Amino acid sequence: MIAGKACGMSSARARNSHRPVSGGKRPDSQRKADPVTGTIYVLNGPNLNLLGKRQPEIYGHETLADVETACLSQAESYGLGVRFLQSNAEHQLIDWIHEAREDGAAIVINPGAFTHTSIAILDALNTFEGPVMEVHISNVHKREEFRRHSYVSLRADGVIAGCGTQGYLLAIDRVARLVAATN
């Protein structure tokens, strides 16, 4: 089950120090592997539990479990942990954002359809102090007009749309860099 599952780091953290996050302006030759610590909350909104089965022509064939595995390994390569969660309920996503206020270094969120409707999720994200990346698997700008507006974008530090599930990994790259810059 994905919802509520916490994903930790393993000893691969030590092995994967090949991709240091560089926050400073030192030349590569002098740059040290800045240790980055923390947990990225990867939050998924309604219907994303059906990823792989739901409109695969739009969202692809990968399942959310596949995305979780890829996110874990991407974050691990930066020394970061992941808490990968999905819910169809707005209040649950809000509760996890509140939890991230205490335990999260960054949030990557695909709010699903709540993107376009939820001021409550926007308000919750506004209480979070770390980096926030908004991800959409599909290119929401190429679809129905109502998908072009995002409440979440008013808070997000960056938005990735239309890159398929790779968007999650790009978002992890970005938050890892932003977290390193503030460490």
List contacts with ligand DQA (CB under 6 A). Answer: 47, 110, 112-113, 115, 136-138, 140, 147
Identity of the amino acid at 28 = D
CB 83 within 8 A of CB 104: yes
Strand, helix or coil at 126? Answer: coil
- Considering beta carbons, is residue 5 or 54 the nearer one to ligand DQA? 54
* Residue of 41, 78, 136, 151 with catalytic role: 136
Is residue 149 part of the annotated active site? The answer reads no
- Taking the complex as a whole, how short is the minimal distance between the CB of residue 140 and ligand DQA, in angstroms? 5
Identity of the amino acid at 167 = G
Between CA 164 and CA 130 the distance in angstroms is 24
What does the block give as tokens for 63?
């399942």
- Taking the complex as a whole, how short is the minimal distance between the CB of residue 58 and ligand DQA, in angstroms? 7
Identity of the amino acid at 147 = R
- Taking the complex as a whole, how short is the minimal distance between the CB of residue 167 and ligand DQA, in angstroms? 8
* Residue of 59, 78, 151, 168 with catalytic role: 59
Is residue 136 part of the annotated active site? The answer reads yes
- Considering beta carbons, is residue 106 or 137 the nearer one to ligand DQA? 137
Residues 6+ apart with CB under 8 A from 87: 3, 44, 45, 46, 93, 96
- Considering beta carbons, is residue 51 or 175 the nearer one to ligand DQA? 51
- Considering beta carbons, is residue 22 or 47 the nearer one to ligand DQA? 47
Q: Which residues are catalytic?
A: 59, 136
